[in-house]
């Protein structure tokens, strides 16, 4: 990236901070003065920064992925397994410059394989500025953009040239489902558009000689109770509209969390909320999605990680 291109990205990032219209929520707030739905202002709020061993083997590698977990989110998934981070403002406030210094610490002290920015969709201007500053400080590691895929094309355009690996969740297929479970009417349509844009930027996932991801797109789908048909539709979309060489992780670790299974409130509050999701996913449901993926022509699937958690 030329110095002129970097300067343009910096200018755009600051402009978007004053009129926040990058994420699909289009709040339009001045992030220097107030917050929108994501609850985050001009500084990012970071919950955890550490080498992480809970990602795909090709992402975590042998030394871990340099995870930076952002607080806040532009979705409100009722089943969120990180709701204490994403639905609340927990963590430390950092400027883009301070965030950049942490990237370099992860590189020099943590010896991680990459910088893994988790849930960046609502802080794209700050993340772009932090990456540009980190490069000036000597950052050489690949950048992983770990997203729900609720990204606008404008935000992905700002990240173009700054991101090496897109680690993209594709949660649900139906608009009705996204409205009810993610509190976003347009999630599914937005995800379809954004995943194609990610593929256009970085292509199919490729690796170093020792099997560590260095560039490309990896798509995740969390199998959920009773929604195997939506998972199958996502797999067919990836094969026909993204690439049959798309690297896919069909995840089976769903568990009831956040609002799922909580007692109903108010009058007539018998039973629990989101009862249809209040159980683990079955082996048959996961197998159904995997079969649909293979039938669609997908063939590059993730293997289970050997480690789980952080090294702090």
80 is an annotated ligand-binding site residue: yes
23 is an annotated ligand-binding site residue: no
- Residues 6+ positions from 47 with CB-CB distance below 8 Å: 69, 70, 71, 85, 90, 91
27 is an annotated ligand-binding site residue: no
Annotated binding residues = 73, 77, 80
Which positions make up the binding site for [4Fe-4S] cluster? Answer: 73, 77, 80
């Amino acid at each position: 990236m030329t110095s002129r291109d970097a300067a343009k990205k910096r200018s755009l990032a600051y402009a978007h901070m004053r009129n926040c219209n990058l994420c699909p929520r289009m709040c339009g707030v001045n992030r220097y003065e107030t917050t929108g739905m994501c609850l985050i202002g001009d500084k990012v709020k970071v919950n955890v920064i550490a080498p992480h061993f809970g990602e795909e083997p090709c992402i975590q590698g042998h030394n871990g992925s340099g995870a930076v977990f952002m607080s806040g989110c532009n979705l409100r998934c009722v089943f969120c397994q990180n709701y204490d981070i994403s639905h609340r403002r927990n963590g430390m406030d950092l400027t883009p410059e301070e965030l950049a210094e942490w990237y370099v610490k992860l590189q020099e002290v943590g010896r991680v394989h990459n910088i893994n920015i988790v849930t960046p969709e609502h802080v794209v201007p700050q993340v772009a500025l932090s990456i540009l500053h980190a490069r000036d400080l000597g950052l050489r590691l690949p950048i992983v953009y770990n997203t729900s895929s609720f990204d606008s094309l404008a935000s992905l355009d700002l990240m173009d040239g700054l991101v090496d690996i897109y680690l993209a969740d594709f949660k649900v297929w139906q608009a009705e489902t996204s409205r009810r479970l993610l509190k976003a009417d347009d999630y599914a349509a937005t995800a379809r558009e954004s995943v194609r844009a990610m593929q256009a930027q970085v292509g199919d996932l490729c690796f170093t000689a020792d099997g560590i991801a260095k560039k490309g797109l990896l798509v995740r789908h969390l199998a959920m109770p009773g929604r195997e048909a939506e998972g199958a539709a996502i797999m067919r979309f990836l094969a026909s509209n993204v690439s049959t060489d798309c690297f896919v992780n069909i995840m089976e670790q769903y568990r009831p969390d956040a609002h799922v299974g909580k007692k109903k409130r108010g009058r007539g509050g018998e039973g629990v909320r989101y009862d249809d999701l209040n159980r683990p996913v079955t082996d048959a449901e996961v197998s159904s999605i995997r079969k649909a993926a293979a039938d669609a022509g997908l063939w590059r699937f993730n293997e289970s990680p050997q480690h789980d958690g952080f090294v702090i």
